Chains A and B, each alone.
Chain A
Amino acid sequence: MNLRWKYLIKRTGQMLLTLWIIATILFFIFRLMPGNPLVAYIDPTFTEEQQEILMKQFGLDKSLWMQYIIYIKNLFQGELGQSFFFKDSVINVISKVLPNTIYLMLTALIIAYTAGIVGGIFLAWKRGEMIESVGIVFTLFTRAAPQFWVGMILLAIFSFQFDIFPSGGVSQAGTVYSSELDKLLSFQFYRHLFLPALTLSIYLLGLPLLLMRSNMLDVMDESYVEMAKIRGVSKIRVLVKYAARNAFLPVITAMAVGIGYAMGGNVVIETVFSWPGLGRLLVKAVSTSDYPLAQGAFILIAGVMVFMNFVADILYSLLDPRVNIDSKR
């Protein structure tokens, strides 16, 4: 069998194993929590009998081991249970907010990776000059600043002080979009999207920018770039045509990892901007002790992250034949 296929199969197995372990850990975290998991659901006025019916309904009367088997079986079938708070299936609740998270994430990723690649080329071009140090220090600031704080400052300035952008949500108070398409075609939606997307892209900018810069510096030492310089090709042309093209691929691969980061970073940013997405849903589920919902949202976020790490690894081994996949652990 081809070595690459072998690697793909092995890596797929690893991914499934990781997902299974995460799901198991999650099960025990939620089941072994102190207190009755239904405490948020059961009204004090409920009779013993009603409580028992509920326990049965959620399968909480069975042994822990049985509950675990049912849980894993349900996961395989994409069944995540009932939300206590919304009194609806977790799948329904999640699928209502998921598009918002995807719009926010994709917009931010596109902005961050475009700006990061261009910025990385620019910093490599200005190597050794004052502006390079300024750029690097600025990037370090964006990595050390809490995202929610950046969001708060943007809100205070652009929303409250100058009233250019709305302060939160996806639509103006009182209006509802009739469909996803209607939302995407509405100018209002993009006004609401702007600040959260900007905040998330500032958070994501560091990785592509610094990666692009260091790749550029590596590539610039390669002999074909040396050759082009010797042949008298202009500096800009060398940078863009010879170096950037080759420095660019690993950055695109890193985008897969970026999606994973964005999923985690979303939690805080969505809360600051009251953006009805998956991250805010998770926070809400945790603060209302809605554990089926918290569990569902967390599994989805973790699943995306594990899958994107997998994609990045595969892409990386495909794009860079120098990676010796055989010698990997």
Chain B
Amino acid sequence: MSRVLDRRQVLRGATMAGGGLALSAYMPAWAQPVSAGIAKPLPTVSGEDITLKVAHQMMMIDGRESHAIGINGTVPAPLIRLREGQNVRIHVVNDLDEETSIHWHGLLVPFQMDGVPGISFPGIPARSTFTYEFPIIQSGTYWYHSHSGLQEQEGHYGPILIDPKNPDPVQFDREHVIVLSDHSFQHPHYLFDRLKKESGYFNRQRQTLAGLLAGKDQPLQERLMWGKMRMDPADVADVTGSTYSYLVNGHGPRDNWTALFKPGERVRLRFINASSMTTFNVRIPGLPMTVVAADGLNVRPVQIDEFQFGPAETYDAIVSPPDMRAYTLVGESVDRSGMARATLAPREGMAAEVPPLRKRPLATMKDMGMGGHDMGTMDHGAMQGMGNGATGAQAGSMAGMDHSAMNHGAGSMQGMDHSQMNRGAAGAAAGGMAGMTMPQGQSGTMTGMDHGSGTMPGMAGDQSMAGMDMGNMNMRDFSKAPEVKKGPGVQTISAMPVDRTGDPGQGLENVGHRVLTYRDLTALDRNPDTRAPEREIKLHLTGNMERYMWGFDGEKLSENPDPITLLHGERVRVTLINDTMMGHPIHIHGHFFELVTGKGAYAPRKHTVLVQPGGTVSWDVTGEEGDWAFHCHMLYHMHAGMMRVVQVRKAGEAAA
């Protein structure tokens, strides 16, 4: 099975990955030499006293030189390897001509060591040194990055690996750190500026007249409906492969970073999404992955073929490649405009076929927060409102119905080959709205559905399903979101947001193999706090793609919104409602939260959660004293204002 480098394959992958701009370097794409692959490990620093020097440097990506901000001379920054239970002192030398900072993403540190300028400390001025000092009270895969300006986009990020004090419940023979990132040869301020002036600037995969005539993408009627709403379903990623090179450990697709293994070994891959703006779909064709940790913390092993993760999330997965052959590790950008590519191989210089980029997804009505209406990709969350299993009778007409919701009446499905069904379904529901032309509602196919009318909060009732003209719908019904400040920064309010933690992620609904969902995750250890939340905080993720404004509850951080307040030790439930058509990886500093996915005291614990477009996510969290940053980890969303301060005070010290 193993094969030597197939030049054409590699180039095809690379061409698509690099996009137009990246390839306009020194010679045409087809003439650039193909790298044999680099298996060098990341540089490592460890111990109790570490020095990190932040400085401008050059880096090479696919044979092309780029400006970057590195640490100790490398991008990504060195791997910091620590041991649970130790103390660490980290001297950060700022050799830049501007202020910098380092935030230890996912690490539970005293808030004043958390590294967010303006919240936890005043930043590290140009040409000065700052010393962080904190105990290491956890283990797992984490990372660190600048929290100043847009430095993270320039290469100021690196992995952290903490070995557990006690024997690791995950057994492995070898491990690799896989830092996925996005890099542009243009300055991040330039990229942000483009988005501000023309939000679709980087999208070269929009719907076109030529596409319409060729029968691609949405049919005319749907395009008109979306046009009427001034929503672009092709707007899946703000910044795309038209300017980004997608990197694995700092190497471009043609560099082909290679991770070595011996056949039969259990190899632990520590995936870190250190990108600024890119949600990745990660898979290794031909090699199933067993996810054993999420955001650094152990979960019960779950075997999958692909997972999607947003910026700042991490997953650890075990793979056991059985043969003497190479495997391609694909990190495909969610909008399929490019890919990060690496190789797992028994020896250096081997490569496997690089799969072509798959078709880019289009947003659906569900992505616009009309979950109840989008029968094409109906999911678990939406099905919860169905009358106790009594509705299965008409389900035959519901193309694209989610399997997980069918467990109700699955008795006669014994022996069915699920994988084949998925293949069959791929075509049927690829557009998300297949089988349902919205303006007419195709109400016939849905008449039999009992939506548990009245029992489902936020559901407008059965009659609304029939003959509804979505185009006439109020896209900004603020009565559905009383918390949200009305203003130009709020383009849409999700009319019927649904819990999408059971969804595999945008564009992965019908890929024909197992894709991880948040509902697949169960914590290995019992949650440390299993009390009931004392209250619920509802937060809307809001934005305006046209003006490129982003915020929480309609407000940018620059507008001085009130902080989110918690008491130290207080248990609260936070429900995030995505009122936008984009996924947002939401991160809270200094805390792990427990996802509310029906796992009781074994809820998966995370520091960042990707809230799917038009969807909701709930989590429980216990307040830890301090002022903490809370933000969308899409760097330009945060820069545009999508950030809040979480103020946690001891009961006696809180304002009355």
The yes or no verdict on A and B being binding partners is: no
* B binding-site residues for A, Cβ under 8 Å: none
